[in-house]
Chains A and B, each alone.
Chain A
Amino acid sequence: MTQLGEGVHCATIAVDDVEGINVLFFKLVDANGKPLRNIPYKLVKSGASAEPTHLAQGKTNSKGKTTVASTTNDEEIDFYVTWAKLKMNKGFLKD
């Protein structure tokens, strides 16, 4: 029995254990269905602005998957691959 003041571990709840709650992921694969890992991405509610577009939320894992994109039933999510921004000086003799 747990004594008063004793530390307790947090419960680990697998997403499959939660009945009635939908969970959405994205997964990047190549044309042969093999996962593409380490791809930077951004997830936003569908229709919302993705600015700043160059800042990633994360990278796809070894299975090509994102983190949980949504736990709200029937919610729509937009997925973007993110790319760095590049500035160039186009002054005299520089191109």
Chain B
Amino acid sequence: MPLKQPITAKNDQPRKTQKIVCDCSLLWSLAHQFTYLRLSDEVADNEYKLVDLYSARAKRIAATYARFYLETEDGGDKDKIGRYYWMALGAFASKTVACLLDSVQLQGMYMAFKTVPRGLGQGNMWLFTDIAASHWLYNNHRNNFDKGMMCGENRDAKTLEDSVKAITDDLPWSKESIAAIKYFKPSADIIKGFKLIKKFEEETDDETIRRHQLAQLIAIADHEQGAILQPLIYDNPDFACWADLQRKISYKWTKWALPAYEITFTHACDIDDEQLKSVAPDDMIVEDLQSRMEWISDVAVVFHDLMLTKNTYMAQELQTIAGGVNTPDAPLVY
């Protein structure tokens, strides 16, 4: 439960220490604050403004994921690089979302229809709040994540500290998002993902470590697709309708006006090298979880192979993506 503030104590003993017992609410509130401040600019002492531009948010999100993977984020540990494997893939994915949001097609669509850019912006932002907060808590309050108060399994947006709850409830799309993702209640998949992170930390055999990495990537992908993105955007009838329309148009005409579902393993928006990208099959039904997960499993295999065979290249690309952590807002947001 949140702290009942203020907490008052009387100075009535020679040396008195008033203990204040906190639970997971305080720690999750710190973690939530980390996520929304990352998407904001400081405008005065400890006073921030949320950036408006969806693509700037997506670039900051990609940068934060890359920083978690590279262990340069708050509380990171360079000796444990590789444990946050999903974060590396997530960095490329969020970079791709930023590119989509910046693309001519979507900007054109932005003026006429809000469904697609809003869906991408909403999904990306609330997924970030979910997953980055978990990783921040694991980095900074490990003793209470999977031991101690077991906060990793005890998360509830309804019990955030009052100030943080008020801000969280006021964030874009909060009304339709927080309830849809069950107030951030941890899924079995994310709990499994963090158990695999712990196994990575304890393991010394390289082959086993790589198996843990891929298993962790899949577990967290199952969580983010099934528990977060599916209810947030893909179950939205407007988004599903648009996706269906896209398939019909794509089959009949060219795709010039429509962004393809693809992920490129580069800091740039596109790359000619076919080995550094994965394009979704034409028959993928994006709003269908199973159909989408089939492609994401393929993406995971391509990514896993690249992380082994082109590790230096991938690390350099992630370093570049990490540099976007302070991507500026636009003076005028369309």
* Interface residues in chain A, defined as those with a beta carbon under 8 Å from any beta carbon in chain B: 15-16, 21-32, 34, 36, 39, 44, 46, 50, 53-56, 65, 69-89, 91, 93-95
Do A78 and B8 have beta carbons less than 8 Å apart?
A: yes
Among B27-46, those with CB < 8 Å from A are: 27, 29-30, 33, 36-37, 40, 43, 45-46
Q: Looking at the complex, which one of A22, A53, A77, A78 makes contact with B13 (CB distance below 8 Å)?
A: A22
- Whether the pair A27, B46 counts as a contact (CB closer than 8 A) is no
Contact A31 B21 (CB under 8 A): yes
What is the minimal beta-carbon distance from B142 to any residue of chain A, in angstroms? Answer: 12
B18 contacts A24, CB within 8 Å?
A: yes
> Who on chain B is nearest to A38 by CB?
B140
Given A30-B21, A30-B149, A77-B9 contact (CB < 8 Å): yes
- Binding site of A, secondary structure by majority: helix, strand, loop or mixed? loop
State whether A86 touches B17 (Cβ < 8 A).
no
Question: B308 interface residue, CB < 8 Å from A?
Answer: no
**B148 and A26: CB pair below 8 A?**
no
Does B16 touch A at the CB level, under 8 Å?
yes
Total residues of chain B contacting the partner, CB 8 A: 52
The yes or no answer to B5 lying at the interface (CB within 8 A) is yes
Are A73 and B12 in contact (CB-based, < 8 A)?
yes
Contact call B9/A24, Cβ cutoff below 8 A: yes
Give the CA-CA distance A54 to B333 in the complex, in Å. Answer: 28
Q: Is the CB of A88 within 8 A of B114?
A: no
Contact in complex: A55, B172 (CB < 8 Å): no
- Interface of B, secondary structure class, is mixed
The stretch of B160-168, B200-208, B251-259 in contact with A is: B160-168
Min distance, Cβ A32 to any Cβ of chain B, angstroms: 6
B295 contacts A by Cβ under 8 Å: no
Q: Which residues from A are CB-within-8-Å of B143? A: 30, 34
Question: Is B245 among interface residues, defined by CB-CB distance under 8 A?
Answer: no
Stretch binding the partner chain, chosen from B48-56, B79-87, B131-139, B218-226:
B48-56
- Verify A26–B46 contact, CB threshold 8 A: no
Q: Which of B128-162 contact A (CB under 8 A)?
A: 143-144, 148-149, 161
Taking a contact as CB atoms closer than 8 A, the residue among A21, A27, A53, A75 that contacts B18 in the complex is: A27
Q: Which residues of B contact A34 (CB under 8 A)?
A: 143-144, 148
* Closest Cβ–Cβ distance, residue A53 to chain B (whole Å): 8
Give bound CA distance, A57 to B133, whole Å. 25
User: Is there an interface contact between A79 and B36, defined as CB atoms closer than 8 Å?
Assistant: no
Given A24-B18, A25-B16, output 6 extra A-B contacts at Cβ < 8 Å.
A22-B12, A70-B11, A81-B161, A84-B33, A88-B170, A91-B333
Q: Are the C-beta atoms of B17 and A27 separated by less than 8 Å?
A: yes
- Of A22, A65, A78, A86, most buried by chain B (CB within 10 Å of CB) is A86
- Asked if A81 meets B167 with Cβ closer than 8 Å, knowing A25-B17, A87-B48, the reply is no
Which residues of A have CB within 8 Å of B17?
Answer: 24-27, 65
8 Å CB contact of B5 from A16, A81, A93 = A81
Closest to A21 in B: B14
Contact flag A87-B49 (CB < 8 Å), given A34-B148, A93-B333, A93-B334: yes
A66 → chain B, closest Cβ, in Å? Answer: 9
* Cβ-defined contact, A25 with B18, below 8 A: yes
- Which chain A positions have C-beta within 8 A of B248? none
A47 to B110, CA, bound (A): 51
| Alpha-carbon separation in the docked complex, A83 to B168 (Å) | 12
Contact among B11, B22, B149, B167 for A28, CB-based, below 8 A:
B22
